[in-house]
Structure formats: C-alpha cells, structure tokens
Amino acid sequence: MFTDFGAAAFADRARRELLATGEKHRKRPASSGDELTAQEEQIAELAAAGLTNGEIAAQMFISAHTVEWHLRKVFTKLGITSRRQLRDRR
C-alpha cells in the first residue's frame, strides 16, 4: 500500500514491524475488479430484500452515504441501474 503512494521507506518499516510480531506478509489475491467485495455483497443482499439505505446503514453501522456509494459500485459491476434489477437478480 505504501509503495503505491511512493512511500517505500514506510513500506519497508511496516514490513519489518509485521515480521517482528510474527505476522506474515500476504499479498492480495488478484481479482478482475468486477467481483463484489464482501461488504458490497452484504449491502446488495439487504437492498434486494427491500431495506432502505438508512436501514442498511443502521444495521451495518455505516453511514447512508457509504451505503449509497457501495450500491453505485454494485450497480456498475453488475451492469444494472435499479434496486428492482438487483432484486430480480437474486
């Protein structure tokens, strides 16, 4: 992550500190970018079940704005434009 921002020194330090705690450096699995994340999947399921953004937000302890953001990403990844289409996919 740090190397992506041009902070290689911080990346090296973080790696050393993780190793000192016994943790192993794990690379993220390569993904095509169009797969839903776990949080997107959960939000999609709740939206398909008919919950409002506010209800989803309260249940997941996130803001309604964050729910809206994730739903936009879900719609884009699935190639849909509405909650009705989301419900019909399930």
The answer to whether 71 and 53 are in contact (CB under 8 A) is yes
Could you tell me if 1 and 43 lie in one domain? no
Per the model's pLDDT, the better-predicted residue between 58 and 31 turns out to be: 58
63 plus 47 within the same structural domain: yes
Alpha-carbon distances, residue 44 vs 1, 19, 72, 83 (angstroms): 27, 37, 10, 9
pLDDT of residue 15: 80
Q: Domain containing 26: what range?
A: 1-30
Nearest to 74, CA basis, from 52, 47, 51 = 47
Q: Is the pLDDT of residue 24 over 80?
A: no
**pLDDT above 90 for 27:** no
Residue 83 has pLDDT above 60, yes or no: yes
Across residues 39-66, what is the average pLDDT? 97
Question: Domain containing 54 — which CATH number?
Answer: 1.10.10.10
Same domain, 61 and 79: yes
Its pTM stands at 0.65
Both 39 and 21 in one domain: the answer is no
Distance CA 43, CA 57 (A): 9
Per the structure, how many domains does the chain have?
A: 2
Note whether 26 and 39 are same-domain residues. Answer: no
| 50: alpha, beta or left? (left if phi > 0; alpha if psi -120 to 50) | left
